[in-house]
Amino acid sequence: MPAEELIGKLDGLGSEFAQALVSLSSEQDIRELQAQFLGKKGRVSALMREMGKLPPDTRRVVGAAFNRVKDGIAGAVDGKLDELVKVAEAADLERTIDVSLPGRVRSAGHVHLLTQVRNEAVAIFGELGFEVAEGPQIENDFNNFEALGFAKDHPARDEQDTFFVDDGKLLLRTHTSPVQIRTMLSQEPPIKIVAPGAVYRRDDDPTHSPMFWQIEGLLIDEQVRFSDLKGVLLHFVKRYFGEDLDIRFRPSFFPFVEPGAEVDMQCSFCTDSDSSKCRVCKGTTWVEIAGAGMVDPVVLTHCKIDPERYTGFAFGMGLERMAMLRYGVSDIKNFYEGDMRFLTQF
């Protein structure tokens, strides 16, 4: 075959390939077509073998034509493949879904609201260096009452209507304060603890439960002041309920503190316009959150701590009350029923 004819055939294959390529739309078809032309047994290769029969002086020209066609095919393939990728990507981008259908969830469980309150409170007091202390729920009269200045037959005991056990020899603790006594009896000052835990009183209505949770704080050291108590509780309220809230102390009586106070915080539920309709504070703009005071010398003496050298403060708060205030829980029973519909809300 003369050189000119060979070159003509090569060019013919080139255009034939280009024509065939146009209609193809998969990479596999393109690769197959490419193999038909450029493969070892392909049609271009077949012509290539003809080149060997040509006189050496014409081979160079044919060789150039051969390379041109080969490059042309390879270029066309690359171009076509690029185009296919673009088309495929464009098609992929066309996809839409219904994002409003439910997601496939593997839910974690829920930490009980009271545990959340407890943990948060413990963490806030922890920032100030208070350490967690615990004690038993079935207590004796000394730790629960006597050491705390509740004399036998004292009317103050009426306010803590007590469940007794073992014919009155033991009782269900009515507050977490026995943990104060246990700690002071077993540890030298300085003492800086918070004691969360379940307590029991014979009381049952929408805001009182026969079992409820308290957190108690105690600080005993030289030079502890009433103003320090105020500072610690103010810090707590700001951290837990809101930075802009203030507290006030109202004088009150608890046998184990002197001076004693009830602690109110500003109501954060009043609307600006009219606090008189506020159901939380009943129009007073204050809500009670804690009882507190300076540890009475009688208590220190009972615990063999010198009240001349050491002073201290104690405070106690109800976890339910805090949760009810912050999360709007209206019936205290919700906390103890194990109702999934309640537990999984928080």
Partner 1 sequence: MLASWNWLKELVDFGREVSAEEGARALTSSGLEVEEFRPVGDDFTGVVIAEVVSKEAHPNADKLTVVHVRDSEDGDTTLVICGAPNVPEPGGRVLWAKPGAVLPGGFELGSKKLKGIESAGMLCAEDELGLGDDHDGIIVLGEDAKDLPLGADAATALGLKDVVFDLCIPANRADALGHVGIARELAALLDGRALLPDADLSTVTDNDSTCQSMISVSIADADACPRYVARAIKGLTIKASPLWMQQRLRNVGVRPISNLVDVTNYVMFELGQPLHAFDYEKLRGQRIEVRRANASEKMTTLDDAERELVTADLLICDGEAPVALAGVMGGQTSEIGDGTSTVLLESANFEAMTIRRTAKRMGLHSDSSHRFERAVDPNGADFASRRAALLLAQLGGGKVVAGSVDVYPKVIEPVHVSMRLARCEALSGISVPVETVIETLARQGLEAKENSEGILDVLVPTARADISREVDLIEEVVRIYGFDRVPATLPQTTVRPTKVPDRKRERAHAAMVAAGFSESLTYGFTSPSRIEMLALPEGDRRNTPIKIDNPMTLEQSVMRTSLWSNLLGAVAHNQKRQVHQVRLFEQGHVFLRGPEGIEEPMQLCCVMAGKSDGWLKPGADLDFYDAKGAVISVIEGIYGISNVRFEPNPKATVLHPGISASILDSEGKEIGCVGEIHPSIRKSFDLEGRVFGFELQLEKMTSPIDRRMIALPRFPAISRDVSILVNLEIPSSQVIEIIESCEEPLLASVQILEDYRDPAHVPEGKKGMLWTLTYRVSDKTLTDKVVDKAHKAIESKLLEELGATRR
Q: Which of 26, 100, 227, 330 binds partner 1 (CB under 8 A)?
A: 227
297 binds partner 1 (CB under 8 A): yes
**Partner interacting with residue 267 (select from partner 1, Zn ion, none; CB below 5-8 Å by kind):** Zn ion
The answer to whether the beta carbons of residues 126 and 136 sit under 8 Å apart is no
Q: Which of 39, 142, 165, 186 binds partner 1 (CB under 8 A)?
A: 165
CA 312 to each of CA 2, 52, 122, 272: distance values in angstroms, whole numbers, following the listed order: 116, 109, 19, 38
- Buried/exposed code over 47-75 (b: 16+ C-beta within 10 A; e: otherwise): bbeebeebeeeeeeebeebbeebbebbee
Length of the chain: 346
Among 3, 65, 232, 322, binds partner 1 (CB under 8 A): 232
Q: Is 278 in the site for Zn ion (CB under 5 A)?
A: yes
Sign of the torsion angle spanned by Cα atoms 62, 67, 70, 75? negative
Quick check: 167 binds partner 1 (CB under 8 A)? yes
Binding window for Zn ion (CB under 5 A); candidates: 185-193, 260-268, 288-296, 328-336: 260-268
Q: Does 230 bind partner 1 (CB under 8 A)?
A: yes
**Closest to partner 1 by CB, 13 or 294:** 294
Tokens 């077949």, located at residue: 46
Tokens read off for 316 = 């106690």
Fill in the DSSP letter of residue 217.
E
Reading the block at residue 125, the tokens are 């007091």
Among partner 1, Zn ion, none, partner that 106 touches (CB below 5 to 8 angstroms by kind): partner 1
Binding mask 175-204 for partner 1 (x = CB under 8 A): ---------------xxx-----x-x-x-x
Listing DSSP states for 294-321 in one string gives EEPHHHHHHTT--TTT-EEEEEEEEHHH
Ranges within 306-335 binding partner 1 (CB under 8 A): 311, 335
Instruction: Tell me the window of 20-28, 45-53, 86-94, 263-271 that interacts with Zn ion (CB under 5 A).
Output: 263-271
Query: Binding mask 93-122 vs partner 1 (x if CB under 8 A, - otherwise)?
Result: -----------x-xxxxxxx-xx-------
| Residues lying near Zn ion in the complex (CB under 5 A) | 267, 269-270, 278, 280-281
